[in-house]
Structure 1
Amino acid sequence: MLYIFDWDGALIDSADKIVCAMQAAINQLGLPVITDDEIKAIIGLGLPEAIAVLYPAERLEAREELARHYSLECAMIDENGLCDVFPEVREGLGWLLEQGYTLAVATGKTRKGLDRMLRNHNMSHYFSATRCVDETASKPDPKMLLELLEELGVPAVQAVMVGDTEYDLAMAKAAGIKSLGVSYGVHPVKRLLSCSPLAVVDKFSEVVGYEISCDRCCMAE
């Protein structure tokens, strides 16, 4: 069985960092004010796609400038202190490896951003493969998952996607992969359930403890 995890919101408690970095970048550029909840709603998308949702009327150049400022703010925040790993995550990932499962990451972060976080949190050793948004298509396009399946030689029926956003679970559904939602991230349970996951769980130990049958597959409709 292959477990594919989202990074922000499923493994790492980074929502406040993302909101803080985006609000700082918006303020620096003098763009129209948006709420923290509006920013949280687009967590999980690739950065260009997320900014296009937040500022659809802005010129491409302005959106690209916002992306640059946001990335700089994230790097500065990472240098000044780490986001917390969610409770039970390290223990749970270690247990899954001990049982012989393969682990991977599918994230809306850039390669530079994910590698920095993996290094800072000393978590690279858990994962056999990772895929970032600047290497493929943004969620909810299934390309990211299909590439991981091909790289690791795992059929879709033997994989499960674990995420905290509708984008994660919709991506899994489009790829024909089972999914588990986690309620401790950014999207409300109602949004997660709209994508027909196997379940929505409240803590990471319930991800590890959920019995997943390889002969059940959430096929794309």
Structure 2
Amino acid sequence: MIVIFDWDGTLCDSVESIVASMQVAAAELQLPVPEPAAVREIVGLGLSQAMAQLFPELEEGLRQELAAAYSRHYAAPERTRTPLFPGALATLETLRGRGLELAVATGKSRRGLDRVLASLQLADFFDATRCADETRSKPHPLMLREIMAERGKSPTEAVMVGDSEYDLAMAREAGVSSVGVSYGVHPSARLASHQPLAIIDELPQLLELLPLQS
């Protein structure tokens, strides 16, 4: 079995840094500063898709400028050390000890994911990773299909863990079971509409749902 995790808001406590970076970038370009709730709504999407949803009236050139400003602010030293959620690393290590494969499917860019994995000394921890700038963005299922193909897994041998309905919609479209986490960007009622196996309040609860070995 392979357990595929979303990153921001699921494993990594980074949502507030994303919100702050987006707000600073918008202010820098003298654009309307989005409310935190609006930014949280787009966490999990690829950056170009997120910008289109957050600023639908903005012309493409200015959207690209805003995306570059956001990326610059998010990569600033004071924002790069976003921690894992409590119990996340121990949960990952326990799952690996049970013989399960681990992967990440994220709306982050490849550069952004590699940077944060390196900062957390997890660069070689996962068996596979996919980012939105190298495949289709969530909720399209291609990201999951590519991970499963790379690792030789069928949909019945995979589970997706995420905090947004984009994660769970992607899993459902790919024929993969899912588990929602209640502490991220989307409320439990929205996650429940995608029929996950369960919605958990903290990541270590995942250990009760998954088998002892692959």
Q: TM-score, normalised by structure 1?
A: 0.93
Letter in 2 for 1:136: T
What is the aligned length?
212
Determine the structure 2 residue equivalent to 1:149: 148
Q: Say whether 1:161 aligns with 2:140.
A: no
DSSP 3-state at the match of 2:81:
coil
Which residue of 1 is the match for residue 46 of structure 2? 46
What's the CA shift string for 1:68-99, capped at 9, x where partnerless? 000000111x4555112101111111111111
Q: Deviation at 1:194?
A: 1.1
- The CA deviation string for residues 75-130 of structure 1, in whole angstroms up to 9 with x for no partner, is 11x45551121011111111111110000000000000000000001112320010
- Paired with 1:55 and 1:134, the residues of 2 have a C-alpha distance of 19
* Counterpart-to-counterpart distance in 2, 1:63 and 1:211: 41
CA gap of 1:205–1:80, structure 2 versus 1, over 3 A, is closer
| Alpha-carbon shift at residue 33 of structure 1 (Å) | 2.8
1:3-152 equivalences under 5 Å are 3-76=3-76, 78=77, 82-152=81-151
- The answer to whether 1:206 aligns with 2:178 is no
Distance 2:135 2:34 in 1: 28
In structure 2, the residue corresponding to 1:103 is in which secondary structure?
strand
Q: Are the aligned partners of 2:74 and 2:80 in contact in 1 as well (CA < 8 Å)?
A: no
C-alpha displacement at 1:209, in angstroms?
1.8
8 Å CA contact 1:97, 1:126 repeated in 2: no
CA distance in structure 1 between the aligned counterparts of 2:132 and 2:59, rounded to whole angstroms: 22
User: How many Å apart are 1:20 and its aligned residue?
Assistant: 0.6
The match for 2:190 is 191
Please list the CA deviations of residues 51-81 of structure 1 after superposition, one character each: whole Å capped at 9, or x if unmatched: 10111111001111100000000111x4555
Partner amino acid, structure 1, of 2:104: V
Q: Following superposition of structure 1 onto structure 2, how do residues 160-179 of structure 1 map, counting pairs within 5 Å?
A: 160-179=159-178
Structure 2 residue identity aligned to 1:83: T
Could you give the per-residue CA deviations for residues 11-45 of structure 1, whole angstroms, max 9, x where no partner exists? 00001100010000000001123201100011000
Q: What SS does structure 1 have at the residue aligned with 2:50?
A: helix
CA distance in 2, matches of 1:64, 1:193: 34
Q: Distance in 2 between matches of 1:80 and 1:161?
A: 27
Over 3 Å counting, the alpha-carbon distance change for 1:195 and 1:80 in structure 2 is closer
Q: Among the aligned pairs, what percent are the same residue?
A: 48
Which residue number corresponds to residue 218 of structure 1?
none
- 1:216 aligns with none
**Within 2, Cα distance between the matches of 1:80 and 1:88?**
21
Change (3 A) 1:176 1:80: closer
Deviation per CA, 1:178-220: give whole Å up to 9, x if none.
00000111111111111111110000111122146xxxxxxxx
Alignment partner of 1:135: what SS? Answer: coil
Q: Which amino acid aligns with 1:146?
A: R
